């Protein structure tokens, strides 16, 4: 149950937590030391961020919208045949064929008649907790965005953007700039790619294995592949 939920919930949390955590304007990012930022550009960039990413943005994005999106992901993903899902994750076991067209929902409902309700409640709790967590991150993220915009755009360019955002049309665009990414139509468009992604996953994983074949296996990974597949199947 926990693995099922984490499999589909974790990518959402990662996606919504972008951009990366804030850095000092002269601190190293990876192996690159960022140059000092011109104060005038930084001041203009902070105004831009106030328009595009005001405090409370994550709460607007996640309240209600995220619940619906998670319900849709769970419904579409868990209604797929279990064998197809497992094979899409790179698990190829002859015993999976015995499952036929049974879906994850079918199998889980046999074990837990309250499975659907339990998952819905879990998504609501996770969303509420994530809202608080990500709201606490917003000041650092806004600082990062201001630094990034100040490096990428000149003071004149930022001034032109801010002048546009100060207009009625520009303000309307800025207010809903981030909300576009959680619009139901956008979510539906993204979900439509799930079957293709799952179908492509075995070939992708095969290429990953080929690309890393020259590396020794990590510690603790010297177990037979069939044992690995069986233990993962048991987790479901």
Nearest to 141 by CA among 13, 49, 61, 51: 49
Inside any domain, residue 132: yes
Has residue 43 got a pLDDT over 50?
A: yes
Sign of CA dihedral 215, 216, 219, 224: positive
Report pLDDT for 61. Answer: 83
Has residue 9 got a pLDDT over 50?
A: no
Inside any domain, residue 31: no
Inside any domain, residue 112: yes
Inside any domain, residue 233: no
Has residue 21 got a pLDDT over 80?
A: no
Of 12-16, 58-62, 218-222, minimum mean pLDDT range:
12-16
pLDDT tens for 202-212 read 888 889 989 99
Nearest to 62 by CA among 2, 133, 4, 119: 133
* Count: domains in the chain: 1
How many distinct helices (H) and strands (E) make up the chain? 12, 2
What average pLDDT does the structure give for the chain?
76
Does this model's pTM top 0.85? My answer is no
Give the Cα separation of 196 and 200 in Å (integer).
Answer: 6
Tokens standing for residue 182: 């959680």
Q: Where are the beta strands (DSSP E) in the chain?
A: 28-29, 32-33
Inside any domain, residue 17: no
* Segment 96-114 mean pLDDT: 74
Sign of CA dihedral 181, 186, 187, 193: negative
Report pLDDT for 92. Answer: 65
Report pLDDT for 184. Answer: 78
112 SS3 class: coil
Give the Cα separation of 200 and 212 in Å (integer).
Answer: 19
Has residue 89 got a pLDDT over 70?
A: no
pLDDT tens for 51-67 read 999 999 988 888 766 66
Q: How many other β-carbons are positioned within 10 Å of the β-carbon of residue 141? A: 20
Inside any domain, residue 222: no
Inside any domain, residue 24: no
Q: What are the Cα distances from residue 130, in Å, to 13, 66, 161?
A: 8, 10, 31
* Segment 64-83 mean pLDDT: 66
Percent of the chain with pLDDT over 70: 64
Sign of CA dihedral 213, 217, 218, 224: positive
Q: Which residue has the higher pLDDT, 61 or 169?
A: 169
* Segment 147-165 mean pLDDT: 97
Percent of the chain with pLDDT over 90: 30
Residue-number span of the structural domain to which 59 is assigned? 2-8+37-204
Inside any domain, residue 230: no
Q: What are the Cα distances from residue 10, in Å, to 13, 39, 77, 127?
A: 5, 37, 14, 12
Q: How many other β-carbons are positioned within 10 Å of the β-carbon of residue 67? A: 16
Q: What are the Cα distances from residue 44, in Å, to 13, 47, 52, 151, 183?
A: 30, 5, 13, 11, 29
């Amino acid at each position: 149950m926990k693995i099922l939920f984490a499999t589909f919930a974790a990518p959402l949390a990662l996606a919504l937590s972008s951009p990366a955590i804030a850095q000092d304007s002269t601190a190293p990012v990876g192996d690159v030391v960022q140059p000092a930022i011109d104060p005038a550009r930084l001041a203009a960039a902070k105004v831009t961020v106030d328009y595009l990413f005001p405090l409370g943005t994550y709460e607007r994005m996640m309240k209600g919208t995220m619940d619906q999106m998670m319900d849709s992901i769970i419904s579409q993903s868990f209604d797929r045949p279990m064998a197809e899902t497992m094979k899409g994750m790179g698990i190829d076991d002859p015993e999976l064929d015995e499952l036929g067209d049974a879906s994850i929902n079918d199998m889980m409902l046999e074990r837990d008649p309250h499975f659907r309700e339990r998952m819905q409640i879990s998504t609501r709790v996770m969303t509420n907790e994530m809202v608080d967590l990500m709201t606490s991150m917003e000041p650092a993220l806004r600082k990062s965005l201001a630094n990034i915009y100040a490096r990428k755009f000149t003071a004149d360019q930022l001034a032109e953007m801010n002048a546009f955002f100060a207009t009625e049309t520009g303000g309307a665009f800025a207010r809903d700039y981030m909300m576009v990414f959680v619009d139901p139509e956008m979510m539906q468009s993204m979900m439509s790619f799930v079957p293709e992604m799952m179908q492509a996953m075995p070939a992708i994983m095969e290429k990953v294995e080929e690309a890393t074949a020259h590396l020794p296996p990590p510690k603790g990974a010297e177990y037979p592949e069939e044992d690995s597949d069986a233990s993962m199947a048991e987790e479901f």
